[in-house]
Amino acid sequence: MTDYEVVIGLETHIQLNTKTKIFCACKADSWDDEPNTNVCPVCTGLPGVLPVLNKAVVEKGVLLAKAMHSDIRMRSFFDRKNYFYPDLPKGYQISQYDLSLASGGYLDLPMPEGYTRRVTITKLHMEEDAGKTKNAGNLRLIDFNRCGVPLVEMVTGPDLRSANEAAQYLIRLRQLLRWLGISEADMEKGHLRCDANVSIRPKGSDQLFTKTEIKNVNSIDNVKNAIEHEVERQIREVEAGNRVYAWTLDWDEEKNELRKMRSKETEADYRYFREPDLLPLDLTQAWLDKILADFPELPLERKARFIFEYKLPEYDADILTGERNLSDYFESAVHLYAGDPKKVSNYLMNDILRMLNESGKTADQLKLTPAFLAEILKMVDAGQINTSTGKSLLEKVETSGKSPKSIVESEGLGLVSDDSAIRTVAEKIVAANPKEVETFRAGKETLIGWFTGQVMREMRGKADPKLATQILLELLKK
């Protein structure tokens, strides 16, 4: 069998998280609305209406273009993409074609295997969404709520070489969209939709076989699974001497299989022409400068800085830059603590992430603020509380919203450093355990940890462990 190389390009439709739709005042996010209740004459294309461009859509599109290293056009145009489909009430979709908001760009994709794949961007444009159809037995139901929802369509070059690379691209894109705050990027709710163009060629050849397009995939795992199925199918067809046709394929998640929907359209089929009801979109440099003034450090750049500046392991840095809120929380705590950044990382990775997962909160919603976490770490370092008390304070602070210091004082959680109090308990422990004393004095000095543990248990964890160990050694070596 010939060895084949897989060639993949992805088309993503990104729903922007604006309050209203792209050309009217209807609510943009209608996921939970009853069908056909979030519509108006503009988004359903009734005669005589005129679209008005939503400024926030342009702002969010500019942020994405900047993040993708694209060239932002100072003048762009809207176009009509003409096709007839039941969920498109106007008979056309307002989109952008040859002179769109931005051109070019790339995303560098670090792969778990250690190499980096540069994925180029061939198209980045704004458009409105169509409606939604649903099969119900012999009926086909139509919901127009999504009509006019603002999208950015972004198309990659044929740069991806495996289903796994395609999945990693979507993971990094989703991270980037949430980081910029321009989309919720939830594939199950249609905030991020992906079509995959898949083809194969013999390794070493520049000649591609015909590509197919996979549609209706609602999760990253399903994108990966669907591509793997299609690659296997194309190889079987080619090996059998059959032709690969330019089909548009539908992914059936329940049956785990692909079905032919229709032959694939070309751009000529859409008969693009300039949208006559909208003026050209002219941007000014002053407006661009204002939008991009607070452009954030991007996740991969911040990850690299965390590794270099804070000496974090790559695993920690990757987790801590997964969400911008968590990343900002970590860095604020590090600056306030002014101690070992790895200690802050350990608390976040082992305790605070669990707290976030259980509560469904984001880091910026915690009552346990970075300042409170820094306060707990400082108290542990100063020997005012022990580590286990410090861990228990995380939940206490989050539940009450009170400062760690006030909780320690009100509940008497501070370490006991009174020599006489600890000595009294230590003498009691030594007197009650003659066999262990004899074993220790016979040379098994590792038992000191056991003795210290007994003192700590007797004093409910409040004894200063260093002082307790010191007193016990004094008593045991008499």
- CA dist., res. 386 & res. 463, Å (int): 9
Q: Which amino acid is at 457?
A: R
Domain boundaries, the chain: 4-289, 299-411, 419-476
DSSP 188: G
Closest CA to 367 of 330, 414, 403: 403
Q: Which helix (H) or strand (E) holds 93?
A: strand 92-95
What's the CA angle centered on 80, arms 79 and 82, to 5 degrees? 150
- CA dist., res. 458 & res. 435, Å (int): 19
- CA dist., res. 231 & res. 162, Å (int): 9
- CA dist., res. 156 & res. 172, Å (int): 14
Q: Do the bridges between strand 212-217 and strand 247-252 make them parallel or antiparallel, or are there none, so unpaired?
A: parallel
Q: Does domain 419-476 have CATH number 1.10.10.410?
A: yes
Contact 435, 447 (CB under 8 A): no
Tokens read off for 116: 């980096």
DSSP assignments along 412-444, one per residue: T-SPB--HHHHHHHHHHHHHH-HHHHHHHHTT-
CA-to-CA dists, residue 222 to 84, 172, 195, 288, angstroms? 28, 16, 11, 38
DSSP 209: P
Q: At what angle do helices 434-441 and 465-476 cross, to 10 degrees?
A: 80
Which residues lie closer than 8 Å to 263 by C-beta, 6 or more apart? 245, 246, 247, 248
- CA dist., res. 420 & res. 467, Å (int): 11
- CA dist., res. 283 & res. 113, Å (int): 42
**pLDDT for 264:** 62
DSSP 214: E
DSSP assignments along 11-58, one per residue: EEEEE---SB-SSSSSBS--TTSPTT-S--TTTTT-TT------HHHH
**pLDDT for 257:** 87
**pLDDT for 106:** 97
Which residues lie closer than 8 Å to 225 by C-beta, 6 or more apart? 163, 256
pLDDT in single tens digits along all 478 residues of the chain: 579 999 999 999 999 999 999 999 999 988 789 999 999 999 999 999 999 999 999 999 999 999 999 999 999 999 999 998 899 999 999 999 999 999 999 999 999 898 999 999 999 999 999 999 888 888 999 999 999 999 999 999 999 999 999 999 999 999 999 999 999 999 988 899 999 999 999 998 888 889 999 987 889 999 999 999 999 999 999 999 999 988 899 888 888 888 888 666 667 788 999 999 999 999 999 999 999 999 999 999 999 999 999 999 999 999 999 999 999 999 999 999 999 999 999 999 999 999 999 999 999 999 999 999 999 999 999 888 888 889 999 999 999 999 999 998 888 777 666 577 778 888 888 888 888 888 888 888 888 888 888 877 877 777 777 778 888 888 887 6
How many Å from the N-terminal Cα to the C-terminal Cα in the chain? 81
DSSP assignments along 250-297, one per residue: EEETTTTEEEEEEEPP-GGGG--EE-TTS--EE--HHHHHHHHTTPPP
Half-sphere exposure of 256 (CA within 13 A, CB side): 4
- CA dist., res. 275 & res. 273, Å (int): 6
CA-to-CA dists, residue 17 to 30, 122, 190, 257, 279, angstroms? 11, 23, 12, 32, 24
What is the radius of gyration, based on Cα positions, of the chain?
31
CA-to-CA dists, residue 95 to 101, 140, 278, 456, angstroms? 11, 26, 11, 69
Contact 101, 291 (CB under 8 A): no
Closest CA to 166 of 206, 232, 217: 217
**pLDDT for 418:** 56
Contact 344, 337 (CB under 8 A): yes
Which residues lie closer than 8 Å to 289 by C-beta, 6 or more apart? none
